Chains A and B, each alone.
Chain A
Amino acid sequence: MSDLRPAEPRIRDGVRAALPLAPSPILFGLSYGVLADATGFGEAAAIVMSATTFGGAAQFAAASVLDAGGTIAAAALAAIFLNARYVAIGMTVASIFPGGRLRRLVESQAIVDESWALSGRRGRFEWPILVGSGLVFYVLWVGSTAAGTVVGGVLEDPNALGLDAAFAALFLALLVPYLRERRSRQAAVLAAAITFALLPAAPAGIPIIAASAACLLGLRR
């Protein structure tokens, strides 16, 4: 007798699901390595950050704020605020992790936007897909960051190549999908206004942290 229900996925199904998306973390990781190295963030720091933070936008933000002369607190807060969405994402998959707390702590590090999206593709979240694809993205992300720092080391004046504008383009590309929602658009306009108002007045990094107050628009009914 054959069982017609779809088989429970395994870790290797998650690995396979991740492979078509491989170019994205590779190119993204390479560019992070190049930019982090070119802005003086440091090769080893960039690689360790990829291995521990494992979240592209936050890592770019930290390098960007430090490069602009921002304080440690401003750089760290900007990155942490960007990763705050992982609390919400983690909630949606909280119940699929097996085992004790330590195991759940370790395996939840496989959560990134892409692995989370893949894991829900069959209408419910599947742990083997999340962990298997997360593992692939992790290896590619850390490896390509390391490769990027090697490439970045040979660049002499990164801003002559427009790398500062490339940073801005990255944040812009990540922002656009959020703007489909009305409330996100309103908050974005307010955040932009706060940033423009504080740019001429406050030290580097402060305008970004102050602009985060715009998320309090979410308290409105």
Chain B
Amino acid sequence: MSDAWIVVALVGVATIALKSAGPVLIGRRPLPPRAQSVVDLLAPVMLVSLVVVQTFGGDEQIEVDARVVGVAAALVAVWRRAHVVVAMAVAAAATALVRLAA
């Protein structure tokens, strides 16, 4: 079994459990407020880390290359309220152009 399949199984089972936890187990009881605050911060924290790794990640080093130009272009697109897919296309196009020129 490849790594991808193991990840698919783990994440699939976990996500099914996460989605159904409230409806199946909890009913109307809310999370304690401080636990709720921690859960609320998980998504932005993971996303910013993924942005950094995907933009600057190298082989155990920080690399600054054409990706930075693409992500900067995407930031402008997001700023101007472009759709997610448009932002992705802008990033890909800008990065590809820089690589073509290099």
A residues sitting closer than 8 Å to B (CB atoms) are 24, 27-28, 31, 40-42, 45, 48-49, 52-55, 57-59, 61-66, 68-69, 72, 75-76, 78-95, 97, 101, 104-105, 107-109, 111, 159-176, 178-179, 183-184, 187-188, 190-192, 194-196, 199-204, 207-208, 211-212, 214-219
A84 in contact with B8 given A111-B19, A162-B70, A169-B88 (CB within 8 Å): no
Is B37 touching A171 in the complex (CB atoms < 8 A)? Answer: no
A65 to B94, CA, bound (A): 23
- A215 adjacent to B38 (CB under 8 Å): yes
Taken together as a complex, chains A and B put the C-alpha atoms of A86 and B54 apart, in Å, by 24
> Which of A24, A64, A94 sits near B26, CB closer than 8 Å?
A94
Q: Does B101 count as interface, using CB distance less than 8 angstroms?
A: no
25 example contacts (A-B, Cβ-Cβ < 8 A) are as follows A45-B2, A45-B8, A48-B8, A66-B4, A69-B59, A72-B6, A72-B10, A82-B47, A85-B42, A88-B36, A90-B22, A91-B22, A93-B23, A105-B23, A159-B99, A162-B92, A165-B70, A165-B74, A169-B92, A171-B54, A176-B78, A184-B41, A199-B58, A214-B41, A218-B37
In the complex, A201→B11 CA distance in Å?
A: 27
- Where chain B touches its partner, the secondary structure class is helix
Complex Cα distance A75/B70, Å? 24
Bound Cα distance A195, B6 (Å): 25
| Contacts across chains A and B counted by CB atoms under 8 Å | 322
A80 touches B11 (CB 8 A): yes
Q: Which residues of B contact A (CB under 8 A)?
A: 2-8, 10-16, 18-24, 26-28, 30-31, 34, 36-62, 66-67, 69-71, 74-75, 77-78, 83-85, 87-96, 99
Known: A49-B8, A64-B50, A211-B45. A164 touches B37 (CB 8 A): no
What is the distance, in angstroms, from B81's C-beta to the closest C-beta of chain A? 10
- Chain A residues whose CB sits within 8 angstroms of the CB of B69 once the complex forms: 165
**Chain B nearest CB: distance from A169 CB in Å?**
3
Q: What residues of B have a CB within 8 angstroms of the CB of A184 in the complex?
A: 40-41, 44
How far, in whole Å, are A124 and B21 apart by their CA atoms in the complex? 20
Q: A64-B50, A192-B52 are in contact. Are A94 and B27 (CB under 8 A)?
A: yes
Assuming A52-B15, A87-B39, A211-B49, is B87 touching A68 (CB within 8 A)? no
The answer to whether residues A61 and B50 also contact, given A76-B11, A169-B71, A183-B37 and a CB cut-off of 8 A, is yes
Which of chain B's residues have a CB closer than 8 A to the CB of A49? 7-8, 11-12
Known: A78-B46, A93-B23, A215-B42. A165 touches B94 (CB 8 A): yes
Also in contact, A216 and B38, with CB within 8 A (given A52-B12, A75-B7, A87-B18): yes
